[in-house]
A and B are shown apart, each in its own frame.
Chain A
Amino acid sequence: MTAYGSFGWALVLVSLGVYCSGRYTDSWSIRLGIAAAIVAATFSVQIDQVPLIGFVAAVQGEPSVAMLLISGGCAARSILPERVTQEDLSQLCACIFWLGLVMYPSALGVGPIDLYAVGYHPYAALGLLFLALLCVGFAATRLLAVWATLALLLHGHDAGESDNILDYLIDPIVLVYSWWHVGTHAWRRFRDARR
C-alpha cells in the first residue's frame, strides 16, 4: 500500500470514529480517543499475519478523494456545521451518483465504450482541471472544486497505486453511499411533495 493509501485509510477511520462517537458523547477527548483506538487497532491487529487494514485494502485498495471528503465532511459537519453544508455533500453525492452510474457498467462490458479507459488519457486530467476552475469560479459549491482539485493533484503526483484519474475521484464504496444518499433525499422530497 502506498503512503497515500495508508494515510487515506487512517483519515477515513478517524473521521468515522469522530462522527459515530459524536452520537453518544460530546466530549472531544473521548471522541478523539475512540478514533485513535480504531486506527491503532486496524493497523496493528493481525489475522493470519495480515493487519486488519490489509483486509480492507484487499477489497478497496485505496480510498478515493470522494471517500476522504464524504467521511471528513460528515465528521466536520458534526463539529462545524456551518462550514460544510448538507447541500455541499448532496451535490458531491449527486456527481458521484451519475458518474458511477455511467462508468461502472461500461467498465464491466455494458455498452460499446469503456468510459473507465478514458481516465488514463491525459486529456481527462485537463477536462477535470477545467471542471475544477468552473466550480471555483461560477458554480455554487466549494466541495466539488476541492474534489476535482485534490484528485488532480494526487493523480499528477502519482500518489496512489492507480494511473487512472477516475480512481482518485470515486470508488465503489462511495458510489453505494451516494446511491443511498441520493435515494433517501429523493424519497424525502417525494414524501414532502405528497403531504
Chain B
Amino acid sequence: MLRFISTTNRRVPAIAGIGVLLGLAFPPAFESATSYLAAPGYRADAAGTEADTVDMVGTSEAEPVWEERAIDPGGRAMVHSATLIELTDGGIRAFWYGGSREGARDVGIYTARLPPNEQQWGAAREIMNREKLSEELGRYIKKLGNPVGFLDAAGRVWVFFVSVSFGGWSGSAINAMVSRDGGATFGQVRRVVSSPMFNVSTLVRGRPIQMLDGSITLPVYHELLGKFAELLHLKPDGSVQRKKRLTRGRSHIQPALVTVDADTAHVFMRYAGEEAKRVHYVSTNDAGLKFTSPRHSNLPNPDSAIDVIRLTSSETLMVYNHSETGRHNLSLAISGRDPAEWTRIYDMERSETGFGQHFSYPSILRDSSGRIHIAYTYDRRYIKHVTFNETWLARIRRGPATEP
C-alpha cells in the first residue's frame, strides 16, 4: 500500500503537468462541446423557402415562361453532372465535369455563367483538372467528378467535387474550394476527410443547405461495400463538425436534401437496390439530430439521380426519371405535405429512340425572382438548361402530364 502511494505521488506532477498542457490546448473543444448537443436549424432561404409567402398562381409574372438553352460543353466530348447556383448579382452559374469520357485522365471541372437578364450562357472555363489538383494537394490524382456548387450566406461560392487516386468511383474523396468573387477565381483546395479507410468512398452529389449558425449541411454518400447516405456538417471554414448516417445497407445513394422549416427536412435518395425501385426518403423534425428509417415514395427510380426543391411551405418539386428501367425520360412531380405521395405533372424529356438517349443528373434551383432553373445531362453530349416560371407551372398543373 505504501509502495503504491509512493509511486502515485511521484506521478502526480506528471498528471498535473499533462492536464494543464491539454487544458490550455483545448479551449475550442470545450467551447464547441456545449453547442454540439443542439442542432442550429435550417436557414429558411437556403432551400428557396423565402418564396413561401408567394402564391403559386401567377403573382410574379403574368405570362408563362418556358426557355431552353444549351450550355457550352467547352469542346469536350462528354459532359455530365451539372449543378446550378444563383450568384449575388442575380446571374446563374453552372458547374459540371467534362472530358473525352467519364473517368478519363483529361476530365476537368468546368463552369459557365448566365448573366442576369441575358439569354446566352458565357463560354465554359476549366477551373480544376487532375494535374492542378495533384499539385495543390501534393498527391497523385487519377480522375475527378461530381461538382456541387453552393452560395453560402456570406456570399462565397463553394464547389465540392470528388477525386479518385486509385480504383473506381467507390474510391472517391471529397474536395472543397471557395471563391470570394462569384466563381471567377478559387482559393486553395481543401481535402474533406470523412472516412477512416484511407479517406475513400465518400461522394457528393446533392446541394448543401445553409444552417442558422452559418454552418453547412452537405449530403454525401458512401459506396465501398455498403451503399448508404450520410450528412456532413461543415463549419463556415469548411472543417467537418459532425457526420450523420441516414441509412444502412447497400441501396441508398445521392441524397437530395430539402427543408420544410427550421427543424423539418426530407432527404430523397437514389435507389441502388434490387427490390422496390422507388425514390426513397428519410425525414427529420429536429434539424437533423434524428432521422426516420428509409421509406419509399410512389415515384419510380431506375437507379438514377434526382433533385428536389421547396416551392411553398406545403409543396415540393422533384425532377427525376419516371421509369424503373432507364434514364430515357425526365419528368417533374409535385408533392404536398406527405413526402411519400407525388403527382407527376410534366415530362420534360422523352427519348425519340426509345432507350437510346439518356437524360440524367438533374439539378434544380429557384432564383430570387421565383423562376425555376433545371440543368441536366443531355445524352452526355451537353448540359441542357431549362427555365420556367410559376405561371407556367400553374398552367401545367391544370393539365395532364405531357411533353413540351
Which of A33-41, A154-162, A185-193 is found at the contact surface with chain B?
A154-162
B225 x A109 contact (CB < 8 A): yes
B197 x A107 contact (CB < 8 A): yes
Closest CB of chain A to B24's CB: distance in Å?
Answer: 9
Q: Given A50-B140, A136-B14, A156-B29, does the pair A164, B134 have CB atoms closer than 8 Å?
A: no
Scoring A residues 49 to 93 as 1 if CB is less than 8 Å from chain B, else 0, what string do you get? 111011101111100000000000000000000000000000000
A178–B228 CA distance with the chains assembled, in angstroms: 29
Q: Does B193 contact A (CB under 8 A)?
A: yes
Q: Does B76 contact A (CB under 8 A)?
A: no
A interface bracket (residues with beta carbon within 8 Å of B): 35 or more
Which of B108-116, B150-158, B241-249, B380-388 is found at the contact surface with chain A?
B241-249
B191 x A108 contact (CB < 8 A): no
Q: Does B222 contact A (CB under 8 A)?
A: yes
Q: Does A11 contact B (CB under 8 A)?
A: no
B25 x A157 contact (CB < 8 A): yes
Which of B30-38, B77-85, B119-127, B325-333 is found at the contact surface with chain A?
B30-38
Q: Given A122-B36, A126-B33, A172-B198, does the pair A117, B242 have CB atoms closer than 8 Å?
A: yes
A71–B228 CA distance with the chains assembled, in angstroms: 36
A172 x B196 contact (CB < 8 A): yes
Chain B residues near A116 (CB, 8 Å)? 195-196, 243
Which of B15-23, B61-69, B277-285, B368-376 is found at the contact surface with chain A?
B15-23
Chain B residues near A119 (CB, 8 Å)? 196
- Interface positions, chain B 217-246, Cβ under 8 Å from A, are 222, 224-226, 228, 239-245
A49–B135 CA distance with the chains assembled, in angstroms: 9
- Interface positions, chain B 91-133, Cβ under 8 Å from A, are 131
Q: Does B402 contact A (CB under 8 A)?
A: no
Q: Given A54-B140, A136-B14, A153-B22, does the pair A107, B191 have CB atoms closer than 8 Å?
A: no
Closest CB of chain A to B284's CB: distance in Å?
Answer: 16
Chain A residues near B12 (CB, 8 Å)? 137
A152–B242 CA distance with the chains assembled, in angstroms: 18
Q: Does B357 contact A (CB under 8 A)?
A: no
A57–B199 CA distance with the chains assembled, in angstroms: 11
Max chain B Cβ within 10 angstroms of own Cβ: one of A5, A103, A122: A122
Scoring B residues 193 to 212 as 1 if CB is less than 8 Å from chain A, else 0, what string do you get? 10111110000000000000
Scoring A residues 124 to 140 as 1 if CB is less than 8 Å from chain B, else 0, what string do you get? 01100100110011100
Closest CB of chain A to B178's CB: distance in Å?
Answer: 16
Q: Given A152-B25, A163-B239, does the pair A57, B196 have CB atoms closer than 8 Å?
A: no
Instruction: List the A residue with the shortest CB-CB distance to B238.
Output: A163
Closest CB of chain A to B172's CB: distance in Å?
Answer: 13
Closest CB of chain B to A59's CB: distance in Å?
Answer: 6
A121 x B36 contact (CB < 8 A): yes
Q: Does B400 contact A (CB under 8 A)?
A: no
Q: Does A10 contact B (CB under 8 A)?
A: no
Chain A residues near B197 (CB, 8 Å)? 104, 107-108, 172
Chain A residues near B28 (CB, 8 Å)? 156
Chain B residues near A172 (CB, 8 Å)? 196-198
A157–B24 CA distance with the chains assembled, in angstroms: 11
Q: Given A133-B15, A156-B26, does the pair A120, B33 have CB atoms closer than 8 Å?
A: no
Q: Does B141 contact A (CB under 8 A)?
A: yes
A51–B138 CA distance with the chains assembled, in angstroms: 8
A132 x B22 contact (CB < 8 A): yes
Pick the residue among B8, B26, B193 that contacts A129 (CB under 8 A). B26
A123 x B228 contact (CB < 8 A): no
Closest CB of chain A to B217's CB: distance in Å?
Answer: 14
Chain A residues near B137 (CB, 8 Å)? 1, 57
Chain B residues near A1 (CB, 8 Å)? 137-139
A5–B137 CA distance with the chains assembled, in angstroms: 11
Q: Does A21 contact B (CB under 8 A)?
A: no
Instruction: List the B residue with the shortest CB-CB distance to A149.
Output: B18
A104–B196 CA distance with the chains assembled, in angstroms: 7
Q: Does B166 contact A (CB under 8 A)?
A: yes
B196 x A136 contact (CB < 8 A): no
12 A-B residue pairs with CB within 8 Å: A49-B134, A50-B140, A55-B140, A58-B141, A116-B243, A120-B243, A122-B29, A132-B18, A136-B14, A136-B15, A156-B22, A163-B239
Q: Apart from A108-B225, A109-B225, A153-B25, what 13 extra A-B contacts exist at CB < 8 Å?
A: A1-B138, A1-B139, A51-B138, A61-B199, A104-B196, A126-B30, A132-B18, A136-B14, A138-B8, A152-B25, A156-B25, A163-B240, A172-B196
Contacts from B to A (Cβ < 8 Å): 8, 11-12, 14-15, 18-19, 21-22, 25-26, 28-30, 32-33, 36, 131, 134-135, 137-141, 165-166, 191, 193, 195-199, 222, 224-226, 228, 239-245, 248-249
